[in-house]
Amino acid sequence: MKIAMIGCGAAGSCFAGYLRKGGADITLVDMYKAHMDKVAKDGLEFIIYPNTHYHLDGFKTAYSADNIGIMDIVIFVTKATQLDKAVESAMPCIGPDTVVVSLINGLGNDDILLKHFPANRILCGSGALGTELREPGCCVSTEVKGTLVHFGALENGPVTDKAGAHLAEVFTKGGCLAEFNRDDRPNIWKKVIINCTVNTVCAVLRLKIIEVAEDPNGMELFRGVVREACAIATAKGVPFDAVEFENTHLKNFIDNMGDYYPSMAQDMLINHRQTEIDVLNGKLSEYGRQFGIPTPVNDLLTVMVKAIQANYDKQYLK
């Protein structure tokens, strides 16, 4: 099956690396010209943290989807705030039977895809990976134990089932254990809760994950986000117990990914980019108001991140 990866920053490049390693026929689409040119000319240097190296050839690359042909599967790994425009720009490669996939952090990506496509052609999922685009042509994946990619169909049928089975097969062959589930909401919410916890707190405190976890006040911020997020997920019909979540999923993430600045921290501390706060902690605050669930920790973190990203050029530098 022909696959296009729309958005080949850190996460998209790592997902593409696993897929290509598993034998996928894949085209990378991104406006980052230096990265696309480097991969087209020399291949992709794919590193599994800390020091397992793969050199992968055979990618097709493009700066847009205009002339790459109709794909069987189109995977979106842009920022959540860019998804609507990314879908519009990808339409030249999407046919009547193409399955579209979101592997994007945050909440609400399914609603955006439903504006453009029927539910029986949509897969949504998440990856339990830390990712970094070290330089053009070189990406780094930091793995946790167990299944690394989960996804499911908004509406199961022969088209989505075939695409989901193919993706699970090639991801797993590429060393990225993947599962295609009929109801993937628990996995999507688990990833959202982890992202809202480690991404945002690390970004605000300017610390790696393990450095936050080793500080009692930092760990209390982690717990506060988990507590509020689990209450909201439960209200949305996906029950989680906050204490169990902390002792299992969060502990596993800290143990395996501790020496890492998560993506929002990279966006704020290194690249001075706008973040995905509105579809992470901001969306939890929105749901909290909807269900009458207090979210003081997520409320505060949301306004702090928005204030910081609105004033990068004014911040104190040593």
Is CATH 3.40.30.10 correct for 2-183? no
Are both 2-183 and 186-311 of the same fold? no
Taking only the tens of pLDDT, the chain with its 318 residues reads 999 999 999 999 999 999 999 999 999 999 999 999 999 999 999 999 999 999 999 999 999 999 999 999 999 999 888 999 999 999 999 999 999 999 998 888 999 999 999 999 999 998 888 899 999 999 999 988 888 999 999 999 999 999 999 999 999 999 999 999 877 888 889 999 999 999 999 999 999 999 999 999 999 999 999 999 999 999 999 999 999 999 999 999 999 899 989 999 999 999 999 999 999 999 999 999 999 999 999 999 999 999 999 999 998 877
Q: Give the residue extent of every domain in the chain.
A: 2-183, 186-311
CB 97 within 8 A of CB 28: no
Is 188 within 8 Å of 276 (Cβ atoms)?
no
Judging by DSSP bridges, how do beta strands 60-62 and 25-29 pair with one another?
parallel
Phi, psi of 253 (to 5 degrees): -65, -45
CATH C-level class of 186-311: mainly alpha
Q: What are phi and psi of 292, to 5 degrees?
A: 70, 30
Task: State the pTM of this model.
Answer: 0.82
> One-letter amino acid identity for 292?
G
